[in-house]
Amino acid sequence: MRSFLGIGLLLGLVAGLPDRSVAEPYPLTLEQREQLRTFIPRTFAKLDGQRPVHIVALGDSVTWMYIRNENNGNWLHSYVAEFADKLAREFFYTGGVRALNPEQNHPAKLREHLGKEIYLENLAIGGRCALDAIQRVTTDAFVNQPDLVVVKFGINDSNRGYSLDSYRRSLQRCVDACRENQADIIIVGPSITRASSGPTGWGLTRTQATVAREVAEKNGVLFVDMGKALAPLGGGIPVGVEPEAAVLTMADRLGRIFETDPPSDVPDTLHPNESAHKVMGQYLFDAVMAKPKPADGYELTGRGELADNGRVKATVKLRNRSDQPRKGYLAALSMGQLLTPEQPYHAFDIPAGRAAEFNIDYLRRAVQNLPGGNAAFDVADPNLRLSYFVIDEDGSRLLDIVSRLEPVSVEWISQVFHDISNGVKLEWQFLNGANQPTQGKYRIGMGSAVSNWVDFSLEPLAAKRFQATFPFQPIEGAARFKKPVFVEVEIGGRTLTYPREIEAVRDLSLGQRVALTPADVYSDAAREPLAGPATLAEGEDGVTMRADADANFLFFTFDIAGVPFQDVAGSPALIADLAIDARPAGQVGQFGFVDKLRINVGAAEGAVEVERPQLAAFGDGYNMILMPEGILARMQTREGGARRLEVRIPRSYLFLHEWQMGSPSSVLGVNAYLSFAEADANTGAAIYPPGRRHVHASPSADSDRTLYQRDARGLGVLRLTTEPVATWSAHLY
């Protein structure tokens, strides 16, 4: 844990020292001063007066400065530090940039110059997603009262296929938190990654980048697109080359942003090198200072139409805004993990002031567990988000199109459902993507239940809400299940299907036992419906979970029968991950951050290791450091050879929860993943395969299209009463 007291003392001492440097900062233009006052007013006021400036960086491994050489983890080589260094030079902070609490074996400064400094506190963590920013902005991000917060996520969100809705909500929470704490914020779009050898794989993070731009514009904060910062490094290509060869040459050049010195034995396609970080830092600085950029002269517009077999037909117009004819190449990129262009390579020859039109078909990626249908876009973001490289002799650049789908798309309003007993009310809206009125009819289904056909009409580019209530019919004997949900539309002589899936988990009461389900069984697409049993038969192998509570403690008991324990290469025989949402009433089960409590169990009996709970482990807002010694976990062998893991968590650790014992309306969110080790047949190292992972709700952290493991909406519900309950909770995805 970083020492916040140490940081505070350091800032206080530095602020109190006399400074003999009297040089004035370089004069700014009126446009620059207006830009700085608009987007970073608090920071600019301090820069203008040469007072101490504190920057906090939130992000993933790119912001943390992951790189495969000696600079790994050295924040002072990251794009944020490059940006801060340029601020220091512009405003004559002769001491440069100081990293607060740098990683071990890395310096706090690159140059030991004396004078006023800009302070950089890097709270980025490798492998994290945008939702993880909520952990920091509700706990430690503002401990040292930063002037500026730089937020950059998206690589992991895109790689794992997590929801754009979650990404959008997370960035909005960052904006709200910065405003509550009077800090400036810059939203930085994710850098580009290379998901495949061809050009299409460069589009993986672009969906997140376009959403980040929309969040920034909605809130009037600065957005800086690191994909567009790096794209020009692909360079220019002369005319007359075959389009595919031209684009592949440009893409290979661009791939050098991942090459390190010395070269790494393992190719990297995610993390930019030091030279690329310098480019990103300069681009961020230029965006803040609003220095003029040469007009590029290209404008890209387009629209997309849903076609049969899950295809999307896009019509794209590239306009030449310059006064000279332009020749070059257009390369279509993938739309995240959803759509791949069938023919990505195109040449163009456009007279001055004119446009060229391209018709590009996109193929839908197969999605596990979904029935056939048209492209399954994000549950709450049905927009078409297409990106393209535009390459000519002068260079390469990255352009995006965001548009509605034609003839209609579906946006789901209701995604989380609680207190389900008799029925499930689904709410959505149809969006007309065309400039003319449209009409048709629809029906909606959940599982085997399907509604009658209903007529509807939409004005041009309009949206209209609809709803349908289905009788709730739990699968007999199940504690959890998944069912398909779909909307089918007949419009203009065509039938379009928009598929989704819903997961329902039975609410628990105190003292009630529930069986956990092997993850491979629960995610087997061949089984219909997908369900997990509520109980185990007498003598049946498996894992059951029970929760109890009193005024002082929350207890969990896991009984394990017939599942062998293996000590493998010094790794835990069992990793028990327990998620508990103990936020205040009204927040439990809603969007937010909940981390896992990890328990590492060996094959021996007795007390077992509990890892230290992370900040916000029990929900965003839990900003107290909690020691693992307060949590008791023990393993014992029972009569007949069954194992029992017992976990006891102090009520005082769940201090934000109202804890109304005996009240069915007093709820906690809960989830459990018990992963049992076995030796890998090739390496002998410990692995935890899906068949040996037993789950309470969604099957794994990274399974196809599930909610992120730290999203509180994916947890089951525990009611603090011993009275049996017959309610369920569910989420749509």
Token look-up 């906090």 returns 56
Question: Is residue 297 exposed (0-12), middle (13-18) or buried (19+ Cβ within 10 Å)?
Answer: middle
The mean pLDDT value for 377-398 works out to 94
Range of lowest pLDDT (322-331, 509-518, 534-543): 534-543
pLDDT for residue 582 is more than 60: yes
Enclosing H/E stretch for 594: none
Range of lowest pLDDT (270-274, 295-299, 518-522): 518-522
CB 186 within 8 A of CB 148: yes
Confidence of residue 366 (pLDDT cuts 50, 70, 90): low
pLDDT digits (tens, 9 = 90+) for 588-629: 999 999 999 999 999 888 999 999 999 999 999 999 999 999
pLDDT at 530 (0 to 100): 56
How far, CA to CA in Å, does 636 sit from each of 557, 603, 650?
Answer: 11, 10, 21
Percent of the chain residues past pLDDT 70, beyond the cut: 91
Pick the closest to residue 534 from 509, 556, 554, 501 (CA basis).
Answer: 509
CB 532 within 8 A of CB 481: yes
Enclosing H/E stretch for 470: strand 463-471
pLDDT at 534 (0 to 100): 66
Confidence of residue 9 (pLDDT cuts 50, 70, 90): very low
Three-point CA angle 244, 248, 250, nearest 5°: 120
Confidence of residue 266 (pLDDT cuts 50, 70, 90): confident
Token look-up 């909610």 returns 707
Range of lowest pLDDT (38-47, 167-176, 367-376, 569-578): 367-376
Range of lowest pLDDT (12-26, 303-317, 424-438, 683-697): 12-26
The mean pLDDT value for 421-450 works out to 94
CB 212 within 8 A of CB 130: no
The mean pLDDT value for 361-389 works out to 78
Write out the two tokens for 550.
Answer: 């009193």
pLDDT for residue 528 is more than 80: no
How far, CA to CA in Å, does 569 sit from each of 675, 685, 724?
Answer: 16, 6, 44
Token look-up 């190449």 returns 329
User: Cα Rg for the chain, rounded, in angstroms?
Assistant: 27
The mean pLDDT value for 548-554 works out to 97
Look at residue 544 and give its three-state secondary structure.
Answer: strand
- HSE-up (13 A, CA, CB side) for residue 30: 0
Q: What is the pTM of this model?
A: 0.92
Residue 568 and residue 603: Cα distance in Å, rounded? 10
Amino acid making up residue 147: D
- The sign of the CA dihedral 588, 589, 591, 592 is positive
pLDDT at 647 (0 to 100): 98
pLDDT for residue 504 is more than 80: yes
Look at residue 314 and give its three-state secondary structure.
Answer: strand
pLDDT at 537 (0 to 100): 67
Residue 682 and residue 163: Cα distance in Å, rounded? 35
Residue 670 and residue 413: Cα distance in Å, rounded? 24
Pick the closest to residue 316 from 387, 367, 267, 373 (CA basis).
Answer: 387
pLDDT for residue 705 is more than 60: no
The one-character DSSP state at 335 is: B
Enclosing H/E stretch for 99: strand 96-99
- How far is C-alpha 399 from the chain's CA centre? 23
What is the greatest pairwise CA distance in the chain? 86
Mean pLDDT score across all residues of the chain: 90
The mean pLDDT value for 134-154 works out to 97
Token look-up 């890097």 returns 122
What percent of the chain is helix, strand and coil (3-state, nearest 5)?
A: 20, 35, 40
The mean pLDDT value for 399-423 works out to 94
Range of lowest pLDDT (36-50, 96-110, 360-374, 507-521): 360-374
Residues near 255 by beta carbon (within 8 Å), at least 6 away in sequence = 194, 269
pLDDT for residue 5 is more than 70: no
The mean pLDDT value for 322-350 works out to 95
Residue 372 and residue 374: Cα distance in Å, rounded? 7
Range of lowest pLDDT (129-138, 269-278, 534-543, 630-639): 534-543
Confidence of residue 262 (pLDDT cuts 50, 70, 90): confident
The mean pLDDT value for 217-234 works out to 97
Residue 161 and residue 158: Cα distance in Å, rounded? 5
Residue 28 and residue 113: Cα distance in Å, rounded? 24
Amino acid making up residue 600: N
Quickly count: other Cβ atoms within 10 Å of residue 265's Cβ: 6
The mean pLDDT value for 67-74 works out to 92
Domains (ranges, CATH) in the chain?
28-289 (3.40.50.1110), 298-406 (2.60.40.10), 414-504 (2.60.40.10), 506-732 (2.60.40.1190)
Residues near 4 by beta carbon (within 8 Å), at least 6 away in sequence = 140, 143, 144
Residues near 325 by beta carbon (within 8 Å), at least 6 away in sequence = 349, 350, 351, 352
pLDDT at 525 (0 to 100): 47
Residue 513 and residue 455: Cα distance in Å, rounded? 46
pLDDT digits (tens, 9 = 90+) for 182-197: 999 999 999 999 988 7
Residue 279 and residue 231: Cα distance in Å, rounded? 11
The mean pLDDT value for 64-85 works out to 95
The mean pLDDT value for 260-282 works out to 92
